[in-house]
Amino acid sequence: MIKQKIDVEAPLKQEYLFGPVPSRRLGISLGIDLIPHKTCSLNCVYCECGRTTNLTVVRKEYVPTDQVIEELDQYLKNRPGLDYITFAGSGEPMLHSRISQIINWLKTTHPGYKLCLLTNGTLFADQKTRKEALNLDLIIPSLDAATEESFLKINRPHTSLKCAKMIEDLVKLREEFPGIIILEIMIVPGINDCQQELVALKSAIERIKPDRVQLGTLDRPGTENWVEAASLETMKKIARFLGNVELIGNFKPRRQIASFNEMHSDSILEVLKRRPCTVEDLQQSLNLHPAELQKYVNQLLEEGLIKVEQRERGQFLIIVDQP
Ligand code: SF4
Protein backbone atom coordinates (compact mmCIF):
# COMPACT_ATOMS: atom_id res chain seq x y z
CA MET A 1 0.00 0.00 0.00
CA ILE A 2 1.31 3.48 -0.85
CA LYS A 3 1.50 5.64 2.22
CA GLN A 4 0.35 9.22 1.97
CA LYS A 5 2.86 11.79 3.17
CA ILE A 6 1.38 14.23 5.63
CA ASP A 7 3.12 17.31 6.94
CA VAL A 8 2.97 16.94 10.69
CA GLU A 9 5.37 18.15 13.34
CA ALA A 10 7.89 15.42 14.30
CA PRO A 11 6.56 14.04 17.61
CA LEU A 12 8.71 13.20 20.61
CA LYS A 13 9.73 9.55 20.20
CA GLN A 14 7.21 7.68 22.31
CA GLU A 15 6.70 3.98 22.09
CA TYR A 16 4.48 3.46 25.10
CA LEU A 17 2.98 6.90 25.64
CA PHE A 18 0.41 8.56 23.43
CA GLY A 19 -1.33 11.90 23.34
CA PRO A 20 -2.04 13.86 25.41
CA VAL A 21 -5.46 13.09 23.97
CA PRO A 22 -8.50 15.33 24.32
CA SER A 23 -10.71 13.12 26.46
CA ARG A 24 -14.30 14.20 26.95
CA ARG A 25 -14.35 12.62 30.37
CA LEU A 26 -10.80 13.11 31.59
CA GLY A 27 -9.75 16.37 29.89
CA ILE A 28 -6.05 16.49 28.95
CA SER A 29 -5.03 12.87 29.29
CA LEU A 30 -1.61 11.35 28.63
CA GLY A 31 -2.08 7.70 27.64
CA ILE A 32 0.20 4.83 28.68
CA ASP A 33 -0.15 1.67 26.60
CA LEU A 34 1.36 -1.36 28.34
CA ILE A 35 -0.12 -4.04 26.09
CA PRO A 36 0.73 -5.06 22.51
CA HIS A 37 -2.14 -4.74 20.05
CA LYS A 38 -4.50 -6.57 20.47
CA THR A 39 -4.11 -8.43 23.73
CA CYS A 40 -7.12 -8.59 26.00
CA SER A 41 -9.16 -10.88 28.24
CA LEU A 42 -12.27 -9.83 26.30
CA ASN A 43 -13.14 -9.42 22.63
CA CYS A 44 -15.92 -6.83 22.78
CA VAL A 45 -18.10 -6.39 19.72
CA TYR A 46 -17.80 -2.60 19.95
CA CYS A 47 -14.04 -2.43 20.58
CA GLU A 48 -12.42 0.52 18.83
CA CYS A 49 -9.07 -1.29 18.66
CA GLY A 50 -10.36 -4.12 16.45
CA ARG A 51 -10.67 -7.84 17.19
CA THR A 52 -8.67 -9.38 20.01
CA THR A 53 -5.96 -11.55 18.47
CA ASN A 54 -4.47 -12.65 21.79
CA LEU A 55 -7.39 -13.53 24.06
CA THR A 56 -5.69 -14.21 27.38
CA VAL A 57 -5.84 -13.85 31.14
CA VAL A 58 -2.09 -14.39 31.56
CA ARG A 59 -0.41 -11.50 33.31
CA LYS A 60 3.17 -10.83 32.29
CA GLU A 61 5.55 -8.03 31.45
CA TYR A 62 4.25 -7.47 27.92
CA VAL A 63 6.39 -4.35 27.40
CA PRO A 64 9.61 -3.43 29.27
CA THR A 65 8.71 -1.60 32.47
CA ASP A 66 12.04 0.22 32.65
CA GLN A 67 11.52 1.74 29.20
CA VAL A 68 8.01 2.88 30.05
CA ILE A 69 9.36 4.60 33.17
CA GLU A 70 12.17 6.19 31.15
CA GLU A 71 9.69 7.57 28.60
CA LEU A 72 7.51 8.91 31.40
CA ASP A 73 10.51 10.50 33.09
CA GLN A 74 11.49 12.24 29.85
CA TYR A 75 7.96 13.38 29.17
CA LEU A 76 7.18 14.63 32.66
CA LYS A 77 10.47 16.40 33.41
CA ASN A 78 9.09 19.71 32.13
CA ARG A 79 5.94 19.29 34.22
CA PRO A 80 3.39 19.46 31.38
CA GLY A 81 -0.16 20.42 32.33
CA LEU A 82 -2.23 17.24 32.39
CA ASP A 83 -5.56 16.43 33.96
CA TYR A 84 -4.79 12.71 34.07
CA ILE A 85 -2.18 10.11 33.20
CA THR A 86 -4.25 7.18 31.99
CA PHE A 87 -3.48 3.48 31.61
CA ALA A 88 -5.33 2.57 28.43
CA GLY A 89 -4.65 1.64 24.83
CA SER A 90 -4.45 -1.58 22.86
CA GLY A 91 -5.91 -4.03 25.35
CA GLU A 92 -6.42 -4.64 29.08
CA PRO A 93 -3.74 -2.72 31.07
CA MET A 94 -4.04 -4.96 34.16
CA LEU A 95 -2.59 -7.81 32.09
CA HIS A 96 0.80 -6.12 32.55
CA SER A 97 2.28 -7.85 35.58
CA ARG A 98 4.37 -4.84 36.67
CA ILE A 99 1.77 -2.11 36.31
CA SER A 100 1.95 -1.43 40.06
CA GLN A 101 5.64 -0.59 39.74
CA ILE A 102 4.78 2.13 37.21
CA ILE A 103 1.86 3.41 39.31
CA ASN A 104 4.01 3.58 42.43
CA TRP A 105 6.93 5.20 40.59
CA LEU A 106 4.59 7.90 39.23
CA LYS A 107 3.07 8.54 42.65
CA THR A 108 6.50 8.81 44.27
CA THR A 109 8.37 10.74 41.56
CA HIS A 110 5.56 12.88 40.14
CA PRO A 111 3.00 13.03 42.95
CA GLY A 112 1.19 16.03 41.44
CA TYR A 113 -0.39 13.99 38.65
CA LYS A 114 -3.68 12.13 38.95
CA LEU A 115 -3.67 8.55 37.67
CA CYS A 116 -6.55 6.79 35.95
CA LEU A 117 -7.02 3.18 34.86
CA LEU A 118 -9.42 2.19 32.07
CA THR A 119 -10.07 -1.49 32.65
CA ASN A 120 -12.49 -4.20 31.66
CA GLY A 121 -12.65 -5.29 35.31
CA THR A 122 -11.98 -8.97 34.64
CA LEU A 123 -8.67 -9.32 36.48
CA PHE A 124 -9.49 -8.28 40.05
CA ALA A 125 -10.11 -11.78 41.42
CA ASP A 126 -6.95 -11.81 43.57
CA GLN A 127 -6.59 -9.47 46.49
CA LYS A 128 -2.96 -9.06 45.44
CA THR A 129 -4.04 -7.69 42.04
CA ARG A 130 -6.62 -5.38 43.63
CA LYS A 131 -3.88 -4.08 45.92
CA GLU A 132 -1.80 -3.13 42.87
CA ALA A 133 -4.46 -0.59 41.91
CA LEU A 134 -4.74 1.08 45.34
CA ASN A 135 -2.50 4.04 44.48
CA LEU A 136 -4.61 5.11 41.50
CA ASP A 137 -6.92 8.09 41.82
CA LEU A 138 -9.61 6.89 39.45
CA ILE A 139 -10.63 3.49 38.10
CA ILE A 140 -13.10 3.24 35.20
CA PRO A 141 -14.16 -0.40 34.87
CA SER A 142 -16.59 -1.37 32.14
CA LEU A 143 -19.61 -3.52 32.87
CA ASP A 144 -21.82 -4.04 29.83
CA ALA A 145 -23.55 -7.19 30.97
CA ALA A 146 -24.83 -8.64 34.22
CA THR A 147 -26.00 -11.98 32.81
CA GLU A 148 -23.73 -14.69 31.42
CA GLU A 149 -25.68 -14.69 28.15
CA SER A 150 -25.15 -11.05 27.29
CA PHE A 151 -21.57 -11.18 28.65
CA LEU A 152 -20.86 -13.88 26.05
CA LYS A 153 -22.60 -11.94 23.29
CA ILE A 154 -21.14 -8.48 23.92
CA ASN A 155 -17.78 -9.12 25.56
CA ARG A 156 -16.90 -12.57 24.15
CA PRO A 157 -14.64 -13.33 27.15
CA HIS A 158 -11.74 -15.71 27.67
CA THR A 159 -13.25 -19.11 28.55
CA SER A 160 -12.09 -18.88 32.19
CA LEU A 161 -14.16 -15.74 32.89
CA LYS A 162 -17.66 -15.61 34.32
CA CYS A 163 -19.82 -12.51 34.57
CA ALA A 164 -21.09 -13.25 38.10
CA LYS A 165 -17.53 -13.65 39.39
CA MET A 166 -16.44 -10.43 37.72
CA ILE A 167 -19.26 -8.56 39.49
CA GLU A 168 -18.21 -10.14 42.84
CA ASP A 169 -14.64 -8.97 42.26
CA LEU A 170 -15.78 -5.44 41.43
CA VAL A 171 -17.74 -5.38 44.71
CA LYS A 172 -14.51 -6.33 46.53
CA LEU A 173 -12.52 -3.73 44.59
CA ARG A 174 -15.03 -1.06 45.66
CA GLU A 175 -14.71 -2.09 49.30
CA GLU A 176 -10.94 -1.89 49.22
CA PHE A 177 -10.20 0.97 46.80
CA PRO A 178 -10.23 4.45 48.42
CA GLY A 179 -10.29 6.43 45.15
CA ILE A 180 -13.08 7.14 42.69
CA ILE A 181 -14.74 4.37 40.68
CA ILE A 182 -16.79 5.27 37.62
CA LEU A 183 -18.59 2.31 36.09
CA GLU A 184 -18.94 2.51 32.32
CA ILE A 185 -21.76 0.71 30.52
CA MET A 186 -21.94 0.45 26.74
CA ILE A 187 -25.44 -0.12 25.40
CA VAL A 188 -25.58 -2.53 22.47
CA PRO A 189 -29.12 -2.45 21.04
CA GLY A 190 -30.74 -5.87 20.85
CA ILE A 191 -28.53 -7.36 23.57
CA ASN A 192 -28.34 -5.39 26.81
CA ASP A 193 -31.20 -2.90 26.35
CA CYS A 194 -34.13 -5.19 27.26
CA GLN A 195 -35.93 -5.16 30.60
CA GLN A 196 -34.32 -8.37 31.89
CA GLU A 197 -30.78 -7.20 31.17
CA LEU A 198 -31.37 -3.74 32.58
CA VAL A 199 -32.82 -5.14 35.81
CA ALA A 200 -29.71 -7.33 36.17
CA LEU A 201 -27.42 -4.36 35.44
CA LYS A 202 -29.24 -2.18 37.96
CA SER A 203 -28.85 -4.82 40.65
CA ALA A 204 -25.12 -5.17 39.83
CA ILE A 205 -24.68 -1.38 40.10
CA GLU A 206 -26.44 -1.39 43.48
CA ARG A 207 -24.06 -4.07 44.72
CA ILE A 208 -20.86 -2.53 43.31
CA LYS A 209 -21.72 0.99 44.56
CA PRO A 210 -19.50 2.96 42.15
CA ASP A 211 -19.16 6.70 42.71
CA ARG A 212 -20.74 7.31 39.31
CA VAL A 213 -22.12 5.42 36.34
CA GLN A 214 -21.61 6.55 32.75
CA LEU A 215 -23.65 5.24 29.89
CA GLY A 216 -22.34 5.17 26.32
CA THR A 217 -23.21 3.69 22.97
CA LEU A 218 -21.26 3.16 19.79
CA ASP A 219 -20.30 6.51 18.25
CA ARG A 220 -17.76 5.26 15.69
CA PRO A 221 -16.93 2.13 13.68
CA GLY A 222 -16.77 -0.85 16.05
CA THR A 223 -15.23 -4.28 15.58
CA GLU A 224 -18.45 -5.84 14.31
CA ASN A 225 -20.47 -4.24 11.53
CA TRP A 226 -23.81 -5.26 13.00
CA VAL A 227 -23.34 -3.20 16.16
CA GLU A 228 -25.44 -0.07 16.00
CA ALA A 229 -25.77 2.96 18.20
CA ALA A 230 -28.74 3.22 20.54
CA SER A 231 -30.92 6.28 19.90
CA LEU A 232 -30.69 9.24 22.23
CA GLU A 233 -34.27 8.58 23.32
CA THR A 234 -33.41 4.98 24.28
CA MET A 235 -30.30 6.12 26.11
CA LYS A 236 -32.29 8.65 28.12
CA LYS A 237 -34.90 6.01 29.00
CA ILE A 238 -32.22 3.57 30.14
CA ALA A 239 -30.49 6.30 32.15
CA ARG A 240 -33.79 7.08 33.90
CA PHE A 241 -34.35 3.39 34.65
CA LEU A 242 -30.86 2.82 36.04
CA GLY A 243 -31.04 6.09 38.00
CA ASN A 244 -28.28 8.62 38.65
CA VAL A 245 -26.44 7.85 35.42
CA GLU A 246 -24.53 10.26 33.15
CA LEU A 247 -24.74 10.01 29.37
CA ILE A 248 -21.26 10.12 27.83
CA GLY A 249 -22.72 11.87 24.76
CA ASN A 250 -23.56 14.90 26.93
CA PHE A 251 -19.96 15.66 27.83
CA LYS A 252 -17.97 18.64 26.54
CA PRO A 253 -16.96 18.40 22.82
CA ARG A 254 -13.32 17.32 22.34
CA ARG A 255 -12.55 20.43 20.29
CA GLN A 256 -12.99 22.52 23.45
CA ILE A 257 -10.34 20.57 25.35
CA ALA A 258 -6.91 22.23 25.47
CA SER A 259 -5.07 19.14 24.18
CA PHE A 260 -7.20 18.96 21.01
CA ASN A 261 -4.66 19.07 18.20
CA GLU A 262 -6.17 20.74 15.12
CA MET A 263 -3.27 19.40 13.10
CA HIS A 264 -4.35 15.78 13.68
CA SER A 265 -7.91 16.63 12.76
CA ASP A 266 -6.79 18.46 9.59
CA SER A 267 -4.44 15.64 8.63
CA ILE A 268 -7.28 13.10 8.81
CA LEU A 269 -9.45 15.30 6.58
CA GLU A 270 -6.53 15.77 4.16
CA VAL A 271 -6.05 12.01 3.76
CA LEU A 272 -9.78 11.36 3.40
CA LYS A 273 -10.11 14.08 0.76
CA ARG A 274 -7.75 12.05 -1.40
CA ARG A 275 -9.41 8.68 -0.81
CA PRO A 276 -11.75 6.92 1.61
CA CYS A 277 -9.84 4.93 4.24
CA THR A 278 -10.41 2.47 7.03
CA VAL A 279 -9.28 3.47 10.51
CA GLU A 280 -6.32 1.09 10.07
CA ASP A 281 -5.31 2.83 6.79
CA LEU A 282 -5.42 6.18 8.54
CA GLN A 283 -3.37 4.88 11.41
CA GLN A 284 -0.62 3.78 9.04
CA SER A 285 -0.69 7.05 7.12
CA LEU A 286 -0.61 9.29 10.15
CA ASN A 287 1.36 7.15 12.58
CA LEU A 288 -0.96 8.00 15.46
CA HIS A 289 -1.76 5.62 18.32
CA PRO A 290 -5.11 3.91 17.59
CA ALA A 291 -6.70 5.22 20.80
CA GLU A 292 -5.60 8.77 19.98
CA LEU A 293 -6.65 8.56 16.32
CA GLN A 294 -10.07 7.27 17.35
CA LYS A 295 -10.75 10.36 19.47
CA TYR A 296 -10.24 12.61 16.41
CA VAL A 297 -12.26 10.33 14.13
CA ASN A 298 -15.10 10.37 16.68
CA GLN A 299 -15.06 14.15 16.81
CA LEU A 300 -15.21 14.46 12.99
CA LEU A 301 -18.07 11.92 12.89
CA GLU A 302 -19.96 13.87 15.55
CA GLU A 303 -19.47 17.08 13.57
CA GLY A 304 -20.78 15.41 10.41
CA LEU A 305 -17.57 16.18 8.50
CA ILE A 306 -16.98 12.50 7.77
CA LYS A 307 -19.22 9.42 7.62
CA VAL A 308 -18.86 5.64 7.68
CA GLU A 309 -19.68 3.46 4.69
CA GLN A 310 -19.61 -0.34 4.63
CA ARG A 311 -17.50 -1.70 1.76
CA GLU A 312 -16.04 -5.07 0.87
CA ARG A 313 -12.78 -4.49 2.81
CA GLY A 314 -14.58 -3.18 5.88
CA GLN A 315 -15.86 0.13 7.21
CA PHE A 316 -14.52 3.13 5.32
CA LEU A 317 -14.41 6.72 6.48
CA ILE A 318 -15.51 9.17 3.82
CA ILE A 319 -15.56 12.95 3.59
CA VAL A 320 -19.05 14.42 3.67
CA ASP A 321 -19.47 16.93 0.85
CA GLN A 322 -20.18 20.31 2.39
CA PRO A 323 -22.80 22.50 0.64
S1 SF4 B 1 -12.07 -4.78 27.07
FE2 SF4 B 1 -11.59 -2.88 26.01
S3 SF4 B 1 -9.75 -3.36 24.82
FE4 SF4 B 1 -10.62 -5.32 25.45
S5 SF4 B 1 -11.91 -5.91 23.74
FE6 SF4 B 1 -13.22 -4.83 25.20
S7 SF4 B 1 -13.22 -2.70 24.51
FE8 SF4 B 1 -11.51 -3.72 23.49
84 CA → ligand 1 middle, Å: 20
Give the per-residue pLDDT at 14: 81
Give the separation between CA 294 and CA 280, rounded to whole angstroms.
Answer: 10
Distance 46 CA to ligand 1 centre (A): 8
Ligand 1 centroid, distance to 260 Cα (angstroms): 24
Q: What is the pLDDT of residue 275?
A: 86
- Ligand 1 centroid, distance to 253 Cα (angstroms): 23
Cα separation of 79 and 85, whole Å? 12
Which string of DSSP letters, residue by residue, matches 23-69? ETTTEEEEEE--S-TTEES---TT-TT---SEE----B--S-HHHHH
Distance CA(314)–CA(224), nearest Å, equals 10
Please classify residue 159 by burial: count the beta carbons closer than 10 Å to its beta carbon, then call 0-12 exposed, 13-18 middle and 19+ buried. exposed
Low-confidence ranges of the chain (pLDDT < 70): 1-13, 220-222, 250-252, 322-323
Residue pair 185/146 in contact by the 8 Å Cβ criterion: no
- Report d(CA 64, CA 74) in Å as an integer: 16
With a 6 A CB cut-off, is 186 part of the ligand 1 pocket? no
Find out whether the beta carbon of 85 lies less than 6 Å from any atom of ligand 1: no
pTM: 0.87
Q: What is the pLDDT of residue 221?
A: 64
Task: Answer yes or no: is the C-beta of 49 below 6 A from any ligand 1 atom.
Answer: yes
Amino acid at 114: K
